[in-house]
Amino acid sequence: MTPRVHRLTVQYDGTPFAGWQRQRDPNTVQGHLERALAQCWGRPLPLAGSGRTDAGVHADAQVATFTAPAKFKSLAALQAALNYHLPPQIRVTRATYAAAAFHARFSATGKEYRYRIYNHPCHNPFELHRAWHLPRPLTVTAMRRAARLFVGEHDFASFTSNPGYARKTTVRRVTRVTISVRGPVMELRFRGNGFLYRMVRNLVGALVKVGQSRLTISELQTILNAKTRSVAPNTAPACGLYLRRVFYRNRK
Amino acid sequence: MTPRVHRLTVQYDGTPFAGWQRQRDPNTVQGHLERALAQCWGRPLPLAGSGRTDAGVHADAQVATFTAPAKFKSLAALQAALNYHLPPQIRVTRATYAAAAFHARFSATGKEYRYRIYNHPCHNPFELHRAWHLPRPLTVTAMRRAARLFVGEHDFASFTSNPGYARKTTVRRVTRVTISVRGPVMELRFRGNGFLYRMVRNLVGALVKVGQSRLTISELQTILNAKTRSVAPNTAPACGLYLRRVFYRNRK
């Protein structure tokens, strides 16, 4: 049996997990998936994700790959077997074969994140751990204007919590930022060719300060130009962030 | 200070609680609310809910009343104080004064419940404990036709898990049943002048059997006519049920 590249789409509620990445704490999303793979194949199989997510961060559609000989009658049977072994907060929503050269991380050409804010004086129990609760009204028009600053190719050094993580450069191209409001739920979407460590949460933190009239757009421009984290506003909490989509060439 | 009737609207995620009603287990919604009231007033204050909800059942807007002299500068301050003392899965979303004769349970003229089903082969981690997961497709047209049987005044003895709970009669008037489908989420809404113990979950259990082609509409009619629980299908799980609204005369 020749080994094949398996591609998984994974949805998870990040609340109970210590983030994506395998580590000493066994309670990570990657750790649970690798244990499920080991249960199915009877030996350890390393799994590669499109990227890490922090503790408490969610995923609508994380992508992960591993290489192994086909083991089940069908990909549907593989998916069912993995879900059987996984905790219910993690679901494999799709399993396909990919080209031999395909890799969840190295083949990725871009990502989309969404960030949910619950903007109402009283929090909603059903939004607990699913959105950032901000009791006072935000000025969405100002936030939308500010968000335009981020679109395009910029050095986002001011918006990463650890510039050392960015191996070569802190320059990234953000292709789209949209902010939608539906009742008390505000959702910010960020699309780009890549995001630095904690970049989305730092961008959200800055946009929220603008929405609270505690930061002007020209001050935000100064922060972006400064290229140093020390001047930037706070990081938004993990619970509002969702990895929504990973993009690949040829939609593969 | 003359005592006043306080009316609270309460939203809760029922997952972590042993139901509404105060009991030996201190972890009930009523128990948490009464402890919060005791914290605020410095003495025990009994709280009356519009009715009980079982362990795991949620509420969009449960209504509860208690009588006490005004204690805070404003009702907003009372609401904030109660929410400060409550677990985050329980929120007081509104606090008002009511007429002296108003009582959350005895003044209620009707209720609306909603029941959520996640109808998709793969469950959604964000719907865990929030919907009943049914992997195989349901025939919604058949369910809608069957639901019409319940509308009107009927003896629902076949659909209560404990007829002894109904003090006088097991006759209830159901005024509306609607079933909406939005992607994989099916929501059933039941409005009526009152519901017997576990009645909504038993009605849902029966409608689902119809949607699965495991029960015909004429068989369902026979079950309704039989007026005995022993012939009725299974109770739907608690996690899908939400007390959506309590109705009072004069909207008070």
pLDDT tens digits for range A53-108: 999 999 999 999 999 999 899 999 999 999 999 999 999 999 999 999 999 999 99
**What's the pLDDT band for A228 if we cut at 50, 70, 90?**
confident
Assess whether the region B3-98 and the region B109-248 belong to the same CATH fold.
yes
User: What is the pairing mode between strands B171-182 and B185-192?
Assistant: antiparallel
**What's the pLDDT band for A229 if we cut at 50, 70, 90?**
confident
Contact A122 B79 (CB under 8 A): yes
Cα dihedral B75, B81, B85, B91 in deg (nearest 10)? 40
Q: What average pLDDT does this structure show over A119-133?
A: 97
Under 8 Å between Cβ of A146 and A222: no
Q: What average pLDDT does this structure show over A172-181?
A: 98
Nearest to A245 by CA among A199, A190, A175: A190
* pLDDT tens per residue, range A128-166: 999 999 999 999 999 999 999 999 999 999 999 876 666
Can you give the residue ranges of every domain in chain A? Answer: 3-98, 109-248
Q: What are phi and psi of A132, to 5 degrees?
A: -85, 120
pLDDT above 80: residue A211: yes
**What's the pLDDT band for A252 if we cut at 50, 70, 90?**
very low
Under 8 Å between Cβ of B119 and B179: no
The region of weakest confidence among A54-63, A112-121, A177-186, B160-169 is: B160-169
pLDDT at B25: 87
Contact A125 B11 (CB under 8 A): yes
* pLDDT tens per residue, range A27-38: 999 999 999 999
Q: Could you say which of A89, A91, A125 has the minimum Cβ distance to residue B13?
A: A125
- ∠A23-A28-A30 over CA atoms, to 5°? 85
Nearest to A237 by CA among A101, A57, A100, A72: A57
The architecture that CATH gives domain A3-98 is 2-Layer Sandwich (3.30)
Contact A124 B89 (CB under 8 A): no
Give the span between the Cα atoms of A82 and A91, in whole angstroms.
Answer: 8
CA A55, A56, A57, A58 torsion: positive or negative? positive
Contact B91 A11 (CB under 8 A): no
The region of weakest confidence among A107-111, A180-184, A224-228, B7-11 is: A224-228
B55/chain A closest Cα distance in angstroms: 16
3-state helix, strand, coil in chain A (%, to 5): 30, 30, 40
> What interhelical angle do B140-147 and B217-226 show, nearest 10?
30
Q: What are phi and psi of B108, to 5 degrees?
A: -65, 135
Could you tell me how many CB contacts below 8 A there are between chain A and chain B? 46
Contacts of A10 (CB under 8 A, 6+ apart): A29, A33, A59, A61, A62, A63, A64, A90, A91, A92, A93
A176-184 long-range contacts, Cβ below 8 Å, gap at least 24? A176/A151, A177/A147, A177/A148, A177/A150, A177/A151, A177/A203, A178/A147, A179/A140, A179/A143, A179/A144, A179/A147, A179/A207, A181/A119, A181/A140, A184/A118, A184/A119, A184/A120, A184/A124
pLDDT at B251: 53
Give the span between the Cα atoms of A75 and A176, in whole angstroms.
Answer: 34
pLDDT at B243: 98
Contacts of A177 (CB under 8 A, 6+ apart): A147, A148, A150, A151, A188, A189, A190, A191, A203
Which residue is closest to B81 within chain A, CA to CA?
Answer: A122
pLDDT at A84: 97
Taking any CB pair shorter than 8 Å as contact, residues of chain B touching chain A are 11-13, 58, 79, 83, 88-93, 122-126, 128, 130
CA B180, B182, B187, B189 torsion: positive or negative? negative
Report which secondary-structure segment, H or E, holds B136.
none
- When the candidates are 3.30.70.660, 3.40.1380.10, 3.40.1190.20, 2.40.30.10, the CATH number that belongs to B109-248 is 3.30.70.660
B14/chain A closest Cα distance in angstroms: 9
Q: Which residues from chain A sit within 8 angstroms of residue B123, using beta carbons?
A: 88, 91
Q: What average pLDDT does this structure show over A164-189?
A: 91
Give the span between the Cα atoms of A177 and B118, in whole angstroms.
Answer: 31
Which residue is closest to A126 within chain B, CA to CA?
Answer: B13
Give the span between the Cα atoms of A8 and A93, in whole angstroms.
Answer: 8
Contact B123 A91 (CB under 8 A): yes
The ipTM estimated for the assembled molecules is 0.92
Q: Could you say which of A12, A79, A124 has the minimum Cβ distance to residue B125?
A: A12
pLDDT at A23: 84
User: What is the pairing mode between strands B152-155 and B90-98?
Assistant: unpaired
Nearest to B106 by CA among B64, B159, B72, B138: B64
Identify which has the larger pLDDT, B22 or A111.
A111
Low-confidence stretches of chain B (pLDDT beneath 70): 163-167, 250-252
High-pLDDT (> 90) share of chain A, %? 89
Active site residue B25: no
Contact A79 B13 (CB under 8 A): no
pLDDT at B252: 44
pLDDT at A242: 98
